[in-house]
C-alpha cells in the first residue's frame, strides 16, 4: 500500500490527537507494569454527525438462498430466533445483501421467496436493508421488476438499492462475455440500469459504486452529483489487505500486532480516507463502507479474537470522526472475520467484534467532539468523544498487549459539558488477553443468541476539580458516560 507524505497528515483536521512515543510494543503475554497516567481532554466544538444507523453487517447475496453453507432453510427468516437475537444484541442497524455473488448468481437477487424471507427478517430484527441487484451480464428489466417488487412490499425496511459489486475488480474485467474494463463502460451500463429501475420505481434511490481498491469512487460521485438518486457513496476496504507477507501467511500474533499498531492510524486509515470520504465530500456526498474487516478472509486467533473487537471499535470511531456515515462488516460465510458465525452444531454465535459494534451503537446518534490526549509515556491508546442529546460519551481504547503492556489511569476533563455523576461501561476479555476468542464482555455481559444482552453501566462518581478518573486494563476499552444536564 502506498504511503503518504507528512504534508498529507498535517492537513487532516484530526478530532483526535494521538500522542504516541516511538518504539514497538513487545508481543506475547506477560506481566503488566504499573499503570501509565494519561489525560483526556474534550472540547465543545461539535463536528460530524454520527448517524444512529452507523452500525451494520454485510452478507453475500447467495446467503439469502435456502440450505446454503450448512444452514437449514433460510438464514434470514422471521423464524430464525438466534440470528434475530444476535442482530438485536449486537446493535446492528443495517444489513447489506450483495457482495460478489450478486453478479455470479443473479438468481439469488431475484428470488421472490428469498426476498420475502430477507425482509421478514428485517422487520423482526428492527433493521433496514441495502439490497444489491446484479449488473454484470445482467438484465435491466429483471432488475427493475425485482426492485418494484421490493418497493411495493417492503419499502419501509429498505435503505436503498445498489447495482453490481466491485465493478473495478474481477470478474468484471475478466468476464468472457460483457466484460467491463473501463470506468466509462461501467458508468454507461450503470446509468442504463438505474434509468430502467427508476422508470418502474420512480422513488427508488441508490448507493454506489461499491468499488474495491482505490479507483472509480470519486468518478462515480462526480458523475452523480446533483442527480438526486444517490443516497450515499459506497466503498469496500480491508485495512490489512491480504494477510500474507512475502507469500507467507501472517501468524495470529503478527496480525494482532498489526491491527493494534499505531501505524495503521497514521498509514492505512488516512490513505483509505484520502481515497473515499475526502474524495466524495466536495460533490456533496458522504461515504459508507459497505464491506470492511481487518483482513481479507481473516486469521484464526486474531480476526475472531478480542483484538478484532478493539480494532473494530477504534476503526469505527476513527472513520466517524472524519464523516463516514457507516460501516458494514462483511460476513462471508463462515470466515474468521465474520461477526456472526456458525458453531459446530449449526448454531449461530457472535465473535468478539459483535461487542465492539454494540459499544459503538450505544454512542451513535450524536456529533463528534475534538479530543486531545496527554500521553507522556507513549501508551498505545486512542480516545474519541460523541455528544448526544443527553450524554457526552468518551470512548478510550487501550491497545497495549503482550509482555510489558501497560494498564492506564486516565483522567478525563470535559469542562463546560457537565457537572453530574459519571458512569462507565467496560469492554474486556478474560485475562486481558488480546488473543481471547471467548468470554468477551461489554458491561459485564456477553452477547449471546438466546437472551437479551444485559450490560450495565458502573458508577464513576462525581467530578473532582472538573475531572473524572478511570482505570483501564491492557487490551480493553471503556465508554465513559457524562450527563449533559
Which burial class, exposed, middle or buried, applies to 409 when counting CB atoms under 10 A from its CB (0-12, 13-18, 19+)? middle
Exposure on the CB side of residue 433, measured as CA atoms within 13 A = 17
Whether residue 420 contacts residue 483, with contact meaning beta carbons closer than 8 Å, is answered with yes
The alpha-carbon radius of gyration of the chain (Å, integer) is 22
Q: Specify the range with the lowest mean pLDDT, choosing from 8-12, 39-43, 242-246, 376-380.
A: 8-12
pLDDT in tens, 470-485: 999 999 999 999 999 7
Tell me: pLDDT of 22 over 80: no
pLDDT at residue 444 in the model: 99
Tell me: pLDDT of 23 over 90: no
% the chain with pLDDT above 90 = 87
Interior/surface letters 47-76, b for 16+ CB within 10 angstroms, e for the rest: bbbbbebbbbbbbbbbbbbeebeebeebbb
First to last CA, the chain: 46
Separation of alpha carbons 168 and 162, rounded Å: 15
More confident residue, 176 or 124: 124
pLDDT at residue 145 in the model: 99
Give me the DSSP letters along 74-109: -SS-TT-HHHHHHHHHHT--EEEEESTHHHH-HHHH
Q: pLDDT confidence of 14, banded at 50, 70, 90?
A: very low
Q: Considering Cα of 125, then 367, then 318, then 457, what sign does the dihedral take?
A: negative
All domains in the chain, ordered by first residue:
36-47+368-483 (2.60.40.1180), 50-241+253-365 (3.20.20.80)
pLDDT in tens, 335-364: 999 999 999 999 999 999 999 999 999 999
Alpha-carbon separation of residue 402 from 75, 253, 382 (angstroms): 38, 10, 18
Q: pLDDT confidence of 10, banded at 50, 70, 90?
A: very low
Region 238-250: what's the mean pLDDT? 92
pLDDT at residue 33 in the model: 64
Separation of alpha carbons 65 and 349, rounded Å: 20
What is the rounded (10 degree) CA torsion for 468, 471, 476, 478?
A: -20
pTM above 0.75, yes or no: yes
DSSP 338: -
Tell me: pLDDT of 166 over 90: yes
Q: Specify the range with the lowest mean pLDDT, choosing from 174-188, 270-284, 440-454.
A: 174-188
pLDDT in tens, 402-425: 999 999 999 999 988 866 889 999
Separation of alpha carbons 473 and 408, rounded Å: 6
Kindly state the helix (H) or strand (E) to which residue 426 belongs, with its residue range: strand 422-428
DSSP 5: P
Tell me: pLDDT of 4 over 80: no
Q: pLDDT confidence of 31, banded at 50, 70, 90?
A: very low
Region 304-314: what's the mean pLDDT? 99
Helices (H) and strands (E) in the chain, counts: 14, 24
Separation of alpha carbons 485 and 482, rounded Å: 9
Tell me: pLDDT of 441 over 80: yes
Separation of alpha carbons 195 and 22, rounded Å: 54
Q: pLDDT confidence of 11, banded at 50, 70, 90?
A: very low
Q: pLDDT confidence of 2, banded at 50, 70, 90?
A: very low
pLDDT at residue 9 in the model: 34
Q: What is the mean pLDDT of the chain?
A: 92
Separation of alpha carbons 70 and 240, rounded Å: 29
Amino acid at each position: 500500500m502506498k504511503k503518504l507524505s507528512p504534508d498529507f497528515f498535517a492537513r487532516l483536521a484530526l478530532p483526535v490527537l494521538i500522542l504516541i512515543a516511538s518504539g514497538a510494543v513487545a508481543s506475547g503475554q506477560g506481566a503488566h507494569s504499573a499503570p501509565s497516567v494519561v489525560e483526556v481532554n474534550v472540547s465543545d466544538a461539535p463536528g460530524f454527525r454520527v448517524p444512529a444507523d452507523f452500525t451494520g453487517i454485510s452478507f453475500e447475496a447467495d446467503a439469502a438462498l435456502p440450505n446454503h453453507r450448512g444452514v437449514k432453510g433460510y438464514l434470514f427468516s422471521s423464524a430464525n430466533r438466534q440470528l434475530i437475537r444476535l442482530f438485536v444484541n449486537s446493535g446492528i442497524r443495517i444489513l447489506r445483501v450483495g457482495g460478489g455473488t450478486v453478479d455470479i448468481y443473479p438468481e439469488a437477487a431475484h428470488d421472490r421467496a428469498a426476498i420475502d424471507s430477507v425482509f421478514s427478517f428485517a422487520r423482526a430484527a428492527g433493521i433496514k436493508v441495502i439490497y444489491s441487484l446484479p449488473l454484470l451480464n445482467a438484465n435491466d428489466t429483471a432488475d427493475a421488476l425485482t426492485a418494484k417488487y421490493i418497493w411495493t412490499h417492503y419499502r419501509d425496511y429498505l435503505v436503498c438499492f445498489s447495482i453490481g459489486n466491485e465493478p473495478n475488480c474481477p470478474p468484471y474485467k475478466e468476464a468472457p462475455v460483457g466484460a467491463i474494463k473501463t470506468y466509462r463502460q461501467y458508468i454507461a451500463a450503470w446509468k442504463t440500469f438505474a434509468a430502467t429501475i427508476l422508470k418502474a420505481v420512480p422513488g427508488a434511490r441508490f448507493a454506489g459504486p461499491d468499488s474495491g481498491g482505490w479507483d472509480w469512487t470519486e468518478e462515480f460521485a462526480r458523475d452523480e452529483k446533483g442527480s438526486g438518486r444517490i443516497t450515499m457513496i459506497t466503498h469496500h476496504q480491508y485495512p490489512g489487505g491480504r494477510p500474507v507477507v512475502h507469500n507467507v501467511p501472517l501468524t495470529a500474533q503478527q496480525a494482532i500486532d498489526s491491527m493494534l499498531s499505531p501505524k495503521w492510524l497514521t498509514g492505512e486509515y488516512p490513505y483509505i480516507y484520502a481515497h473515499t470520504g475526502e474524495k466524495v465530500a466536495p460533490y456533496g456526498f458522504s461515504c459508507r463502507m459497505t464491506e470492511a474487516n481487518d483482513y481479507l478472509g481473516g486469521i484464526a486467533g486474531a480476526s475472531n479474537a478480542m483484538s478484532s473487537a478493539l480494532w473494530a471499535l477504534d476503526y469505527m470511531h476513527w472513520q466517524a470522526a472524519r464523516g463516514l456515515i457507516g460501516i458494514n462488516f462483511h460476513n462471508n460465510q463462515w470466515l474468521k472475520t465474520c461477526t456472526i458465525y456458525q458453531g459446530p452444531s449449526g448454531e449461530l454465535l457472535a465473535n468478539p467484534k459483535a461487542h465492539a459494534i454494540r459499544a459503538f451503537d450505544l454512542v451513535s446518534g450524536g456529533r463528534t467532539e475534538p479530543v486531545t490526549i496527554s500521553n507522556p509515556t507513549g501508551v498505545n491508546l486512542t480516545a474519541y468523544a460523541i455528544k448526544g442529546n443527553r450524554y457526552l460519551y468518551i470512548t478510550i481504547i487501550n491497545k497495549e498487549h503482550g509482555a510489558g503492556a501497560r494498564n492506564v489511569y486516565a483522567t478525563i476533563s470535559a469542562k463546560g459539558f457537565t457537572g453530574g455523576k459519571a458512569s462507565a461501561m467496560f469492554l474486556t476479555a478474560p485475562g486481558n488477553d488480546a488473543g481471547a476468542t471467548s468470554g468477551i464482555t461489554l458491561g459485564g455481559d456477553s452477547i449471546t443468541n438466546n437472551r437479551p444482552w444485559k450490560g450495565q453501566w458502573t458508577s464513576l462518581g462525581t467530578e473532582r476539580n472538573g475531572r473524572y478518573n478511570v482505570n483501564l486494563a491492557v487490551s480493553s476499552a471503556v465508554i465513559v458516560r457524562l450527563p449533559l444536564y
